[in-house]
């Protein structure tokens, strides 16, 4: 069996080193919540079904989260663990080749998730709990270094500290994620286990998020794999008009194709099959991959 991303022999669980510009890995969103902005897998059975569907469509990583990013009722550490860890354990048994990510900012949840089988910590709140990186180092797990403009967890993510011109957002965001990467390395996380995420929409308005995508190659130039998490986000909807999340797929795919061309190594998505198609076509256009079926004009 050969790995779909690199064409190399498949030797086990998907490794972060396989996520590369020109051959981005797909991270499927699996929300173990009841109030996420787009869709949720409210029960364990729903989550397992969602994972099976995502991997069948081409996901290499599944990102399991137990708390919605925005405002909502308080979710304790214990409740978050109860939401995510049974799912992680089940996925580790049923899909051993999939890299399991846990979407959390709390080190207690991260530690329980790693014990359950997670291999990546997706810290979408920019190191607000510095012990999270220590957990990654202790379990030899990967960590995502994000940027939220100084927001506290579960703050309304559209709150921004930057001017509307967005002139400084790229420099500020690049500095933020690379500083977090350096901090993770300082506590023992290898560079090969670090991913950076410019985090559009978090602490940024639509102008900022668009500017980040326009200059995504600057993040790729750091040498760290770049995660792009833009699936059905607000800036996509506002670029089109006053469009709800349910109507943002086409816009998301357009932005995804641009991000692939500019060096994204990992795409976090609610729509795995559409994202896989976007990767195939974009990679064929850029020459990073060959078309998968070429008989047109030959018969």
DSSP calls for 31-52: E--S--SS----SHHHHHHHHH
Structure tokens at 108: 């207690």
pTM exceeding 0.85? yes
pLDDT at 203 over 90: no
pLDDT at 36: 57
Of the candidates 89, 99, 211, the one whose C-alpha atom is nearest the C-alpha of residue 144 is 99
pLDDT at 40: 65
pLDDT class of 8 with cuts at 50, 70, 90: very low
Structure tokens at 168: 């400084």
User: Strand pairing of 194-196 and 227-229?
Assistant: unpaired
What one-character DSSP code corresponds to residue 201? Answer: T
H or E segment and range at residue 102: strand 99-103
pLDDT at 5 over 80: no
What is the average pLDDT value for the chain, to the nearest integer?
Answer: 90
Q: What is the mean pLDDT of residues 207-214?
A: 94
Q: CA 195 to CA 145: how far, in whole Å?
A: 6
Beta bridge partners of 229: 268
Interval 143-192: pLDDT, tens: 999 998 777 786 765 656 666 566 789 999 999 999 999 999 999 999 99
Of the candidates 168, 164, 238, 235, the one whose C-alpha atom is nearest the C-alpha of residue 200 is 235
- Residue with more model confidence, 97 or 168: 97
Q: What is the largest CA-CA distance in the chain?
A: 63
Contacts of 69 by beta carbon, 8 Å cutoff, 6+ apart: 37, 124, 154, 157, 202
Lowest-confidence range among 32-36, 220-224, 245-249?
32-36
The whole-angstrom distance between residue 69's C-alpha and the CA centroid of its chain comes to 13
Contacts of 260 by beta carbon, 8 Å cutoff, 6+ apart: 22, 24, 267, 278, 279, 282, 283, 286
Of the candidates 272, 168, 154, 250, the one whose C-alpha atom is nearest the C-alpha of residue 212 is 168
Q: Among residues of the chain, what percentage have pLDDT more than 70?
A: 87
pLDDT at 1: 33
């Amino acid at each position: 069996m050969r790995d779909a991303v690199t064409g190399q022999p498949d030797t086990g669980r998907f490794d972060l080193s396989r996520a590369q510009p020109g051959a981005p890995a797909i991270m499927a969103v699996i929300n173990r919540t009841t109030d996420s902005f787009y869709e949720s897998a409210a029960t364990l059975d729903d989550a397992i079904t969602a994972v099976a569907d995502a991997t069948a469509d081409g996901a290499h990583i599944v990102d399991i989260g137990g708390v919605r990013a925005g405002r909502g009722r308080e979710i304790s550490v214990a409740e978050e663990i109860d939401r995510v860890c049974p799912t992680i354990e089940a996925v580790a048994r049923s899909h051993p080749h999939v890299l399991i990510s846990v979407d959390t900012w709390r080190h207690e949840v991260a530690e329980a998730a790693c014990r359950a089988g997670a291999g990546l910590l997706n810290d979408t709140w920019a190191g607000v709990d510095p012990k999270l990186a220590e957990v990654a180092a202790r379990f030899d797990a990967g960590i995502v270094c994000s940027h939220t403009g100084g927001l506290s967890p579960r703050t309304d993510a559209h709150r921004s500290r930057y001017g509307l011109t967005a002139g400084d957002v790229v420099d500020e965001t690049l500095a933020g994620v690379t500083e977090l990467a350096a901090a993770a390395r300082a506590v023992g996380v290898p560079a090969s286990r670090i991913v950076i995420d410019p985090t559009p929409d978090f602490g940024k308005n639509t102008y900022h998020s668009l500017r980040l995508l326009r200059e995504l190659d600057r993040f790729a130039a750091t040498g760290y794999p770049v995660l792009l998490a833009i699936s059905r986000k607000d800036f996509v909807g506002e670029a089109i008009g006053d469009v709800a999340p349910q109507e943002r797929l086409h816009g998301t795919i357009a932005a995804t194709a641009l991000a692939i061309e500019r060096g994204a190594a990992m795409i976090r998505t609610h729509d795995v099959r559409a994202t896989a198609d976007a990767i195939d076509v974009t990679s064929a256009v850029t020459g990073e991959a060959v078309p998968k079926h070429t008989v047109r004009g030959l018969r």
